[in-house]
Amino acid sequence: MRMQESRQLFLVVVNSQHTSCSSVHNNIPTPMALSSRLTLILRLTLAFYAALAAAAAGEQKPLIAERGYKVGERIPVTCLNRTIDTGEHITDASGQLSYIPAFTCNETGRPLELIFGVEKDINCTIDFIDDPFFHLLEFYVHNDAPLTCRIPTKPLPPAVLKEDYEQGTKDNTDGQGSLSDIYTPLIIALAGTLQLSHLHVATHMNVLVHAVPKSVEPGTIAAAIAYSISRDPPTRIVIGDALPLQFSVRWYPNTLLPSGWQGVGGHLTFSTMVYCLISAGASAAICLAYFRGVELPRRLKSHGKDRLGGMERGGFGAGLGNGLGGGLGGYGISGANGYGYGIGKRD
């Protein structure tokens, strides 16, 4: 009985091993199936890398001129083109606002330019005011239309790549306006007086330019504004005259304005008080050092010389009475100027 049970158990084990070997053999792919799978994997890999390269190329296209300005680099100024009849802006064939180079400066022979990071006074004399520009000045001075200009936020690429660059960096804002990723608006508030036969123009202007902090995006312009000031009398101009403009340019390293004058009462702030206290302490220390190191030794030396000179002159000395006689036992008592005299013993 036991022999029969052992034989049956052996047959079960053998059959199970045979079944497992058969299943393993059936799961092994044939060489043809393995080749087709490798081909499919290779095609998918190539397609993935091709799509990735195309996406990278598409993203890099608008980044033609991503470098920032360097200190001293020129910044061109362009202004909105307007009609002389109504002062309305002019658009190009695509419906975008048309900007033209700013007025040409007689000093440089080039259109108006700013210099990145350099604070200076820029003289720009418009050599000849023709009739169209005179009428535009009337609009600007009378505030019927602003003198709208712009400057590149970052250096523009060469002219052959400029169109592709602008198309690749357009913002998603619909409509017309000054909001752009490429240019920063520069509104010039030109002040003056409009007369029947001539104009009075305030030709001296302040220009404030804010840069993006270096830690965020170095060499990038954030905002700009220009406005006339009444430091000098306005210039009277008629058609055919020259218009001398002067721009005092100041740069700020961020978009914050520095603290300044606060109302009519002045600007007494904590920093001002600290500055005054430090100045007073430094002045007192300098005076004390001078007195103890220079003045006091000089006075002590002078006083010592005076005392020594008095002793040498005999102001307090005692002398002998003419060497022979002497009062009070033969010794003379000092008299004036150190010469001794006295009533001696008489024989």
Summarize the confidence of residues 22-46 as an average pLDDT: 65
Summarize the confidence of residues 156-175 as an average pLDDT: 54
Question: What is the predicted pLDDT for the residue at 154?
Answer: 93
d(CA 122, CA 114): 8
Q: What is the pLDDT of residues 280-308, one digit of tens each?
A: 999 999 998 888 888 888 888 777 777 77
- Three-class DSSP labels, the chain: CHHHHHHHHHHHHHHHHHHHHHHHHHHCCCHHHHHHHHHHHHHHHHHHHHHHHHHHHHHHCCCCCCCCCCCCCEEECEEECECCCCCCECECCCCCECEEECCECCCCCCECEEECCCCCEEEEEECCCCHHHHHHHHHHHCCCCCEEEEEECCCCCCHHHHHHHHHHCCCCCCCCCCCCCCEEEEEEECCEEECCCCEEECCEEEEEEEECCCCCCCCCEEEEEEEECCCCCCEEECCCCCEEEEEEEEEECCCCCCCCCCCCCCCCCHHHHHHHHHHHHHHHHHHHHHHHHHHHHHHHHHHHHHHHHHHHCCCCCCCCECCCCCHHHHCCEECHHHCEECCECCC
In this structure, are 299 and 347 located in the same domain?
A: no
In this structure, are 159 and 307 located in the same domain?
A: no
Q: What is the pLDDT of residues 40-59, one digit of tens each?
A: 777 778 777 777 776 665 55
Report the domain count for the chain: 3
Residue 331 structural domain: 314-347
Q: Is residue 298 part of a domain?
A: yes
In this structure, are 202 and 293 located in the same domain?
A: no
Q: What is the pLDDT of residues 92-137, one digit of tens each?
A: 888 888 999 999 999 999 999 999 999 999 999 999 999 999 999 9
What rounded mean pLDDT belongs to the chain? 76
* 159-163, 169-173, 194-198, 218-222: least confidently modelled range: 169-173
In this structure, are 158 and 297 located in the same domain?
A: no
Q: Is residue 153 part of a domain?
A: yes
Question: What is the predicted pLDDT for the residue at 261?
Answer: 60
Q: Is residue 205 part of a domain?
A: yes
In this structure, are 172 and 279 located in the same domain?
A: no
| Tokens at 193, concatenated | 């007086």
Question: What is the predicted pLDDT for the residue at 8?
Answer: 53
Q: What is the pLDDT of residues 227-277, one digit of tens each?
A: 999 777 899 999 999 999 999 999 999 988 877 665 544 555 677 788 889
Question: What is the predicted pLDDT for the residue at 23?
Answer: 46
In this structure, are 129 and 204 located in the same domain?
A: yes
The alpha carbon of residue 181 and the mean position of all alpha carbons in its chain are separated, in whole angstroms, by: 20
In this structure, are 225 and 338 located in the same domain?
A: no
Q: Is residue 60 part of a domain?
A: no
Q: Is residue 61 part of a domain?
A: no
Q: Is residue 179 part of a domain?
A: yes
Q: How confident is the model at residue 336 (pLDDT cuts 50, 70, 90)?
A: very low
Is the pLDDT score of 186 beyond 50? yes
In this structure, are 202 and 307 located in the same domain?
A: no
In this structure, are 90 and 181 located in the same domain?
A: yes
In this structure, are 221 and 275 located in the same domain?
A: no
Q: Which residue has the higher pLDDT, 337 or 240?
A: 240
Q: Is residue 157 part of a domain?
A: yes
In this structure, are 119 and 194 located in the same domain?
A: yes
In this structure, are 104 and 217 located in the same domain?
A: yes
Summarize the confidence of residues 139-149 as an average pLDDT: 89
Q: Which residue has the higher pLDDT, 195 or 162?
A: 195
Q: Is residue 107 part of a domain?
A: yes
